[in-house]
Amino acid sequence: MNLKDCVSKHKKASELLTDKEDLFGDGKIEYLNEQVIFWEYPDGDYKIPCKSMLDRLVIDHEKKVIKLIDVKTTSSIGDFKAHFEHFKYHRQLAYYWMAIYHEMHLKMPNIGNYKKETYIVALQTKELPECKVFTISETSLAEGLSEIEELMTQISWHYQNDSWEYSKEYYESDGAEQLN
């Protein structure tokens, strides 16, 4: 209950996590929670099966804005930047955007005309509850996308060769791997 109160009192968290009443029922704003998207990552002729579960997606058709909102809990909100880097949340959010574009391009052919906004709502669960909202930059998402593309190339190799015990480098070398 304390976290719920904390979120409701935070102006940005409350805005992002609360559905606004649709007085006219015109569907100009879509609120999607825990949205599961199954999709395929194209790697040449090979398609890698993927799954994403978005905490929240808000699509405002009138303002042409798509908001991706991810909720994270932490024991110490003061350390959240370190958690962001350690757990590579930029990569996770870039992956979610890939899923969104894959899913939406048929339903919304003009999705490229929509502005995209990416947020993390961080909730401190220990001691005093606290809530902070962070925006994620396009630069950070681009870095995450680059990392995903590299990882998908490796995963594709493993799928195509059905070799999963070791890295690609192991299989293509004498068995010794480079420590970076």
The pLDDT value given to residue 1: 65
pTM (two decimals): 0.89
Residue type, 107: K
The pLDDT value given to residue 176: 83
Mean of pLDDT values over 142-157? 94
What is the rounded distance in angstroms from the CA atom of residue 42 to the CA atom of residue 156? 9
Helices of type H across 18-110: 80-86, 89-107
pLDDT over 70 at 137, yes or no:
yes
Confidence of residue 24 (pLDDT cuts 50, 70, 90): low
Strands 115-124 and 65-74: parallel
Supply the DSSP symbol for 177: -
pLDDT digits (tens, 9 = 90+) for 68-115: 999 999 988 998 999 999 999 999 999 999 999 988 887 888 888 999
Residues 6 or more apart in contact with residue 83 via CB below 8 angstroms: 72, 74, 89
CB 161 within 8 A of CB 50: no
Helices of type H across 29-161: 80-86, 89-107, 138-161
Q: Among the CATH numbers 3.30.1490.20, 3.30.70.330, 3.40.50.1000, 3.90.320.10, which is that of 2-161?
A: 3.90.320.10
Confidence of residue 17 (pLDDT cuts 50, 70, 90): very high
pLDDT over 70 at 21, yes or no:
no
Alpha-carbon distance values, 120 to 105, 117, 132 (Å): 24, 10, 8
Residues 6 or more apart in contact with residue 145 via CB below 8 angstroms: 94, 97, 98
The SS3 call for residue 68 is: strand
The SS3 call for residue 116 is: strand
The pLDDT value given to residue 26: 65
CB atoms within 10 A of CB 148: 20
